[in-house]
Structures are given as C-alpha cells and as structure tokens.
Amino acid sequence: MHAPFFIASLVALAAIASAQTKRGLPAGCDRNATVEYGDTCNAISAAHNVSTYQLAAVNSETIDSGCNNLVAGEVLCLGIKGQDCNVTHVMQAGDTCFSVADASGIQVNTLLANNPNVNTCDNVYPGEVLCTASQIYVNTTK
C-alpha cells in the first residue's frame, strides 16, 4: 500500500472514530460496550445480557435499522438507568415466546411488553436476544 494512501486512510478512520465519540452516549447510560471488529448487534446483545430491542432502542441515533453500520471502536450504550433489563435469553431454534416465558418463570405478556419488537411473537429468530425479566422495563407511555 502507498504511504500517502495509508495515511489518508488513517486520517479518514480517525475522523469516523472522532465523529462517533463526539455523538456521545445517551443521558443516563447505565453500562456501555465498545464495538469490536466483526461484531453484530445480536453478538453484542448476547455477550452483555441486553435485549436486541433495548440495544437498538438505546442507540437509535447511531445504529441503523438493519444494524449494518457498526464501527469498530465505537462505544454503545447498553441500557438507560432505571430502564435497563439485564436478564436475557438468546433465542435457539424451536424457542417460542411461550416456551421462553415458561422457562424464565414469567408471564408471556411481560415478555411481550419488554420486547415490543417481537409483536405477536411470530417473527422471533435464533440468535435474537429477548429480555426475560419479571419486571417491565419498557416505558409504554412513550
């Protein structure tokens, strides 16, 4: 690689990193994680006990709807204080909202309230992370 191009690339990368940092974390961020090269939203969610819904909702300013714009080195907020569900289940093939709620000892309605993205639960998929807490964290009055 030519040195000038290499340096230009570094400058471009630094600019991206700095833009990400400047945007900052949302107010009241409870915990955070730094994106690693090759990360996916569901991998981050599974590794940190944060639901797919919560990671997307908390970082809606930075992560696009398909989670295709993660940048290695960028810091994501994992949950907002007081609304931070950290009890989770990674969906496996064959899991349903009913089986997961049952195994977690919670009501299906609680599961649905904490994971608004699953709608009627016909769209869950292996690798998706659901909040399985018995407390409801998602503010439905928003």
Which residues here bind ligand NAG, judged by CB under 6 A? Answer: 25, 29, 32, 48-49, 75, 86
Rounded to whole angstroms, the Cα distance separating 47 from 64 reads: 20
Rounded to whole angstroms, the Cα distance separating 79 from 59 reads: 9
Query: Smaller CB distance to ligand NAG: residue 9 or 81?
Result: 81
**Minimum distance from CB of 30 to ligand NAG (Å)?**
7
**Minimum distance from CB of 19 to ligand NAG (Å)?**
15
Instruction: Please check whether residue 33 is in contact with residue 41, taking contact to mean a CB–CB distance below 8 angstroms.
Output: no
**Minimum distance from CB of 119 to ligand NAG (Å)?**
25
Residue whose pair of structure tokens reads 């349903």 in the numeric block = 96
Query: Smaller CB distance to ligand NAG: residue 7 or 23?
Result: 23
**Minimum distance from CB of 120 to ligand NAG (Å)?**
27
Rounded to whole angstroms, the Cα distance separating 44 from 38 reads: 10
Query: Smaller CB distance to ligand NAG: residue 124 or 132?
Result: 132
Please state the separation of Cα 123 from the chain's center in Å: 17
18 φ/ψ angles, rounded to the nearest 5 degrees: -70, -40
Query: Smaller CB distance to ligand NAG: residue 44 or 124?
Result: 44
